[in-house]
Amino acid sequence: MTVTTQDGTQLHVEDSGGAGRPVVLIHGWPLSGESWAAQVPALRDAGVRVITYDRRGFGRSDTPETGYDYDTLAADLHDLMEQLDLRDASLVGFSMGGGEVARYLSRYGADRVRSVVFASAVPPYLAKTEENPDGPLDEEQAQEMLTALQVDRHAFFDDFTTQFLTADGTLAVDREVQQEAFRQATESDQTAAVECMKAWATTDFRADLAAVTVPTLVIHGDADALVPFEGSGKRTHAAIEGSRLHVIAGGPHGVPISHTYEWNDAVGSFLAD
């Protein structure tokens, strides 16, 4: 099915249906909703209605020239929530998707939201600046990634998805699993990939986190080399009063894929409350 956003962009949506509470899974960069393949059946079997969608510019969604800032991406999520009339919903944002969760709550409130999960997520603020010295991504690193993506996207995506699933120098999954992530990455639109990289690398979510008042789980791998726990998940947990924290030992960035059982168990238990 599709959801049409306020600017006419069509988002590809997968809805498991059912009478259970809705759980919206928001994928990371540069993947698509297909990256939740190990989560959808487990959550559906637990009795919830699972909804995934492809962010604009990724997977099977439209690829407009504009709209890759977090205000627009949060508006896309809002349109999905409204058009599907989702209530008492849980929002699970992985990596870049955690930014959409934070911005959605700060702009649209929690009337439709029961709980949220920040999974290996980019908040509160990745960029290392003078006034954000704990940001784990310095300007030189960010520029190197952007240049590599612009010069040879296939080589970049192959390396990035390898790092995505690597912990302490060792690939944590079979090579075939990494290649599936690579396939999803290469299906992204180049404008979307570039502009979304700029967005997640530079957007400050610290004020947005102040609007998060619903029950919250922060789940993160302690061997995440792309979005390090110390500079992201740990700070998000500290910023949201009463939030729960689950750290996956030896987990790389892509823990929903590499540590599926532990991730599904921790998130499923939280969502069941």
**237 is a catalytic site residue:** no
Which of 3.30.465.10, 3.40.50.1820, 3.30.950.10, 3.40.640.10 would CATH assign to domain 2-272? 3.40.50.1820
**95 is a catalytic site residue:** yes
Q: For the residues 137-147, what does the mean pLDDT come to? A: 96
CA 250/CA 143 separation, integer angstroms: 28
Rounded to 10 degrees, what is the CA torsion of 228, 231, 232, 235? 140
In the structure, how many helices (H) and strands (E) does the chain have? Answer: 11, 10
DSSP assignment of 237-265 equals HHHSTT-EEEEETT--TTHHHHTHHHHHH
DSSP assignment of 83-123 equals HTT--SEEEEEETHHHHHHHHHHHHH-STTEEEEEEES---
Active-site residue identified among 95, 120, 188, 243: 95
* pLDDT tens per residue across span 217-261: 999 999 999 999 999 999 999 999 999 999 999 999 999 999 999
CA 230/CA 183 separation, integer angstroms: 30
pLDDT at residue 199 is higher than 90? yes
Active-site residue identified among 76, 189, 208, 224: 224
CA 113/CA 76 separation, integer angstroms: 16
DSSP 29: T
* pLDDT tens per residue across span 62-98: 999 999 999 999 999 999 999 999 999 999 999 999 9
pLDDT at 191: 98
State the pairing for strand pair 2-4/10-15.
antiparallel
Burial 153-176 (b: 16+ CB within 10 A, else e): beebbbebbbbbbbbeeebbbeee
Active-site residue identified among 237, 246, 253, 259: 253
State the pairing for strand pair 49-53/244-248.
unpaired
CA 240/CA 207 separation, integer angstroms: 11
Residues 6+ apart with CB under 8 A from 198: 68, 146
**pLDDT grade for 18, boundaries at 50, 70 and 90:** confident
pLDDT at residue 212 is higher than 90? yes
The pLDDT mean for the chain works out to 97
**224 is a catalytic site residue:** yes
pLDDT at 273: 87
